[in-house]
Amino acid sequence: MISSVRGTVLAIDLDHAVIEVGGVGLAVQATPTTLAGLRRGEQARLDTTLIVREDSLTLFGFTDADARQLFGLLLTVSGIGPKIALATLAVLEPDKLRTALTEGNTAVLTQVPGIGRKGAERLIIELRDKVGGLAVGSGPPGSGPDAGLVRRQVAEALLGLGFAAKQAEQAVDTVLAEPGAAETTAVLRKALTLLGRRP
């Protein structure tokens, strides 16, 4: 697996750049934002994912490992290929994508060419629990790195108890909006009380 490339940028096109690594020019597919940050004749480093098909080897490049990880997650969803995954990252920045998936926001996801409502719903169902909760700096009051983790853990516990996803998430968000709500067990207990089921 080619996990990154570093070398001189030989050419920049609409959808890819050619980077010379060890005397070999590698064509790297990338988003317009990533390509805009490259300069012909200058050194560049990109995190990469190599997609192997029967008739092709295609290299996809990203500005950081975070974007590459999201690209890999998108590819795990049925019906999402490399082109749509890359288009998703071209339209939505990583934090915005995470937030849309966590909040179940199909309107944001359908902004991506090639993703309809059903596709957006499938993305949410399959990736909601894999993107690490809400992105830092977004979401309801009290959200952040720790709150995002607590939110995910409590929501998963409520799902395991038979509550619907939306119902569970609304209860958790209500509890986290209260001052001092931070510890997982306490949040779960309050959420259960709010939902009418004693722990």
CATH topology of domain 145-194: Helicase, Ruva Protein; domain 3 (1.10.8)
For the chain, percent of residues with pLDDT exceeding 70: 85
CATH number 2.40.50.140 is the correct assignment for the domain at 4-62: yes
Listed residue (37, 55, 44) closest to 20, CA to CA: 44
Residue 48 has pLDDT above 80, yes or no: yes
Span(s) in the chain for CATH 1.10.150.20: 65-130
The model's pLDDT over 23-39, given as tens digits with 9 standing for 90+, comes to 999 999 999 989 999 99
What is residue 123's three-state secondary structure? helix
pLDDT reported for residue 133: 43
Residue 160 has pLDDT above 80, yes or no: no
Output the pTM of the full model.
0.64
Pairing of strands 4-12, 43-53: antiparallel
Q: Are 85 and 58 in contact (CB under 8 A)?
A: no
pLDDT, mean over the chain:
83
Lowest average pLDDT, out of 44-58, 86-100, 179-193, goes to 179-193
| Domain boundaries 65-130, CATH class | mainly alpha
Span(s) in the chain for CATH 1.10.8.10: 145-194
Span(s) in the chain for CATH 2.40.50.140: 4-62
The model's pLDDT over 126-150, given as tens digits with 9 standing for 90+, comes to 998 888 643 433 344 444 445 666 7
Q: Are 97 and 85 in contact (CB under 8 A)?
A: no
In angstroms, the CA 45 to CA 10 distance is 13
CA torsion 96→98→100→101, rounded to 10°? Answer: 160
